[in-house]
């Protein structure tokens, strides 16, 4: 299957899942997870109209973004971000999905402010308490948001939440995870305001369930690019 065919197939399935949940497919952002993919593969998808790309490793992303700087692409950092790597984010990424501490937020804000930009942030929540995953526990969410708002950092904007489901989880467990994150977002909206609007959840094996449970952002790699 060509890159264009794979992209069209996924978009059709997103549209159908959105319709089943009373939403519009166009309101759901598809992020092509391009880690370990060559620049040529990204260019093929970009030529088919894909604009959002997600990277997990800072150095790999920095190299790719530099090589593709002539294209109007939006870059998302979706991997675990170490504080000492945050200085690379300000001039390169529009979104970071994996914020998990005030310290990291300060580093990102400093980098963004230096670059004269604003980075949109999502807080990563380890809803399923999976020891193999990063992110804060649900009970830590409100205190962290309180601390971030009190810090009032320039250069960043809190936009929502992100989670990663357990590997090889079935439909019931996946939906439970996604529903729990949606509930946390709704609580954030009541407590902190409507700027909390994004839910980044759902990958190649579970994105249709994620859409039906309220996802606004999907992180899809294998289904677009094939097995690495």
Tell me which residue of 104, 93, 78 sits closest to 202, measured CA to CA: 78
- At residue 43, the pLDDT reads 96
**CA-based angle 182:183:185, to the nearest 5?**
65
Residue 207 · residue 215 · CB < 8 Å? yes
Global pTM exceeds 0.85: yes
Alpha helices in the chain (DSSP H): 3-20, 39-47, 58-67, 102-115, 141-151, 171-192, 207-212, 222-225
Torsion of CA 24, 25, 26, 27, to 10 degrees: 70
Identify whether the C-beta of residue 47 lies closer than 8 Å to the C-beta of residue 31. Answer: no
Structure tokens at 145: 């948001």
Q: Which class for 103: exposed (0-12), middle (13-18), buried (19 or more C-beta within 10 A)?
A: exposed
3-state SS, one letter per residue, for 166-181: CCCCCHHHHHHHHHHH
Kindly calculate the radius of gyration of the chain based on its CA atoms and give it in whole angstroms.
Answer: 17
Predicted local confidence at residue 132, as pLDDT: 85
pLDDT score recorded for residue 167: 82
pLDDT tens for each residue of the chain, 228 residues long:
788 899 999 999 999 999 999 999 999 999 999 999 999 999 999 999 999 999 999 999 999 999 999 999 999 999 999 989 999 999 999 999 999 999 999 999 999 999 999 999 999 999 988 888 899 999 999 999 999 999 999 999 999 999 998 888 899 999 999 999 999 999 999 999 888 999 999 999 999 999 999 999 999 999 999 876
Our count of domains for the chain comes to 1
Alpha-helix residue ranges (DSSP H) falling in 48-170: 58-67, 102-115, 141-151
- Domain span holding position 34: 3-225
Question: Looking at residue 169, what is its pLDDT?
Answer: 84
CATH code of the domain covering residue 110? 3.20.20.10
The pLDDT score that the predictor gives to residue 17 is 98
- CB atoms inside a 10 Å sphere around CB 21: 13
Residue-level pLDDT at 228: 63
């Amino acid at each position: 299957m060509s890159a264009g065919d794979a992209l069209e197939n996924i978009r059709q399935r997103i549209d159908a899942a959105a319709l089943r949940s009373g939403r519009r497919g166009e309101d759901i952002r598809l992020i092509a997870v391009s880690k370990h993919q060559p620049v040529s593969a990204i260019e093929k998808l970009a030529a088919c109209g894909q604009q959002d790309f997600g990277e997990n490793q800072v150095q790999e992303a920095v190299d790719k973004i530099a090589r593709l700087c002539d294209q109007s692409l939006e870059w998302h950092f979706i991997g675990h971000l170490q504080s000492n790597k945050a200085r690379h984010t300000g001039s390169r990424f529009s979104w970071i999905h994996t914020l998990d501490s005030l310290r990291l937020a300060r580093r990102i804000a400093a980098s963004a402010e230096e670059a004269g930009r604003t980075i949109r942030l999502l807080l990563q929540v380890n809803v399923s308490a999976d020891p193999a995953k990063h992110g804060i526990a649900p009970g830590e969410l409100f205190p962290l948001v309180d601390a971030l708002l009190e810090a009032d950092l320039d250069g960043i904007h809190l936009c929502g939440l992100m989670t990663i489901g357990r590997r090889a989880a079935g439909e019931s467990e996946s939906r439970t995870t996604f529903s729990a994150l949606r509930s946390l977002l709704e609580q954030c909206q009541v407590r902190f305001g409507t700027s909390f609007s994004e839910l980044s959840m759902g990958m190649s094996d579970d994105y249709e369930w994620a859409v039906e449970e309220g996802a606004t952002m999907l992180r899809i790699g294998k289904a677009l690019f094939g097995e690495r």
